[in-house]
């Protein structure tokens, strides 16, 4: 079935200078009353604030080696110290300034690249669609983590190269999603009417189609933030991301492998990764429910078809 366009029923008049007022997808705030959605949003906001104000709330310099070596939690430091006498709590807080902004940047760039490619391919079709989708299929044919490892290893170990490698393997999912949504909307009456009134393809994509596909793309992006954090942390864990002495959660877990007796070295950075990934997954689930037309229909007691 062709999806119902999110528009008003105003009559199009070629002589009228006013455009029909399209209704953008609205978030049903009632869907955010779920405890998991609220908890995920609170945890995500806390970590974002930590990433912003980390230099102020860090009890010690995360790079300073002026404390006792391998000191357990509670003996002078809240989360203990590592093998070089650095405060673990300060390094976990400082790691948020590295992992979270880079993950958000990765998701934003993936959305921009994938959405543009998918929208152009779905709207124009023909050889443009074939060329872009075959490139997309080529990237998606390889396992994501393995391909990212190969690219990062060939570029050299650094945070910038890790983000670039993750970006190369992340945009195809948005291209596929956007293409499918555009294919379902490009033959809608309001899009065809706009083209008959003389709107350019770019204007039709931006004004008529983009507001109606924003919801699913936003949901996928919110869910992919956790995936991006895991991917960047995994590359750093393998030595393909952050370099010492940079405080980064994945590299901190990798350093903990060399000191199994000091359990706190790997537990606290791992808990940081776990908490923020789960939080963004809860936020993505709540956002999906809020933007899902079928879920909203069921909530109002209406029909499902």
| Both tokens assigned to 222 | 């919110």
Domain ranges in the chain?
Answer: 103-299
Asked if pLDDT for residue 124 goes beyond 70, the answer is: yes
Asked if pLDDT for residue 2 goes beyond 60, the answer is: no
Closest Cα partner for 106 from 17, 228, 283?
A: 228
Could you give the percent of the chain with pLDDT greater than 70? Answer: 84
Q: What is the reported pLDDT for 292?
A: 64
Q: How far apart are CA 155 and CA 153, in angstroms?
A: 5
Residue 18 burial by CB count (10 A; 0-12/13-18/19+): exposed, middle or buried?
Answer: exposed
Longest dimension (CA), the chain: 79
DSSP conformation class of 86: -
- The tens digit of pLDDT for each residue in 10-26 reads 444 444 444 444 444 45
- The tens digit of pLDDT for each residue in 173-216 reads 999 999 998 888 877 777 777 777 777 777 777 777 888 888 88
Closest Cα partner for 117 from 53, 173, 167?
A: 173
- Computed on alpha carbons and rounded to an integer, the radius of gyration of the chain in Å comes to 23
| Both tokens assigned to 236 | 């750093």
- The tens digit of pLDDT for each residue in 254-286 reads 999 888 889 999 999 999 999 999 999 999 888
Better pLDDT: 242 or 300: 242
Q: What is the reported pLDDT for 9?
A: 37
Asked if pLDDT for residue 81 goes beyond 70, the answer is: yes
Q: What is the pTM of this model?
A: 0.81
Q: How far apart are CA 250 and CA 18, in angstroms?
A: 54
Q: How far apart are CA 247 and CA 93, in angstroms?
A: 9
Closest Cα partner for 220 from 160, 180, 248?
A: 180
Q: How far apart are CA 221 and CA 284, in angstroms?
A: 8
- The tens digit of pLDDT for each residue in 164-174 reads 999 999 999 99
Could you give the percent of the chain with pLDDT greater than 90? Answer: 52
Asked if pLDDT for residue 101 goes beyond 80, the answer is: yes
Cβ–Cβ under 8 Å, residues 222 and 280 = yes
Give the phi and the psi of residue 295 in degrees, each rounded to 5: -65, -40
Asked if pLDDT for residue 121 goes beyond 70, the answer is: yes
Find the angle CA(206)-CA(211)-CA(213) to the nearest 5 degrees: 105
DSSP conformation class of 205: I
Domain 103-299 is of which CATH architecture? Answer: Orthogonal Bundle (1.10)
Q: How far apart are CA 219 and CA 224, in angstroms?
A: 9
Cβ–Cβ under 8 Å, residues 101 and 52 = no
């Amino acid at each position: 079935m062709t999806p119902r366009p999110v528009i008003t029923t105003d009559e199009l008049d070629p002589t009228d200078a006013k455009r029909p007022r399209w209704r953008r997808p609205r978030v049903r705030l009632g869907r955010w009353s779920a405890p998991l959605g609220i908890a995920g949003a609170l945890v995500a906001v806390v970590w974002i604030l930590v990433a912003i104000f980390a230099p102020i709330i860090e009890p010690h310099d995360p790079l300073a080696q002026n404390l006792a070596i391998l000191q357990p939690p509670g003996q002078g430091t809240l989360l203990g110290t590592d093998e070089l006498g650095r405060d673990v709590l300060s390094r976990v807080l400082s790691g948020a300034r590295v992992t979270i902004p880079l993950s958000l940047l990765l998701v934003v760039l993936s959305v921009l690249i994938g959405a543009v490619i998918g929208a152009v391919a779905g709207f124009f079709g023909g050889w443009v669609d074939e060329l872009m989708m075959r490139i997309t299929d080529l990237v998606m044919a390889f396992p994501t983590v393995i391909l990212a490892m190969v690219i990062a290893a060939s570029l050299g170990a650094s945070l910038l190269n890790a983000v670039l490698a993750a970006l190369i393997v992340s945009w195809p999912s948005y291209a596929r999603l956007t293409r499918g949504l555009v294919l379902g909307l490009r033959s809608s009456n309001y899009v065809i009417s706009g083209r008959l009134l003389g709107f350019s393809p770019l204007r039709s994509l931006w004004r008529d189609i983009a507001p109606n596909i924003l919801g699913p793309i936003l949901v996928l992006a919110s869910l992919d933030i956790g995936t991006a954090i895991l991917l960047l942390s995994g590359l750093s864990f393998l030595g393909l991301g952050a370099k010492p002495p940079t405080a980064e959660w994945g590299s901190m877990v990798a350093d903990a492998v060399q000191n199994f007796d000091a359990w706190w070295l790997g537990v606290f950075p791992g808990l940081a990764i776990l908490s923020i990934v789960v939080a963004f997954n809860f936020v993505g689930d709540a956002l999906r429910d809020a933007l899902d037309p079928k879920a909203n229909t069921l909530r109002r007691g209406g029909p499902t078809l």
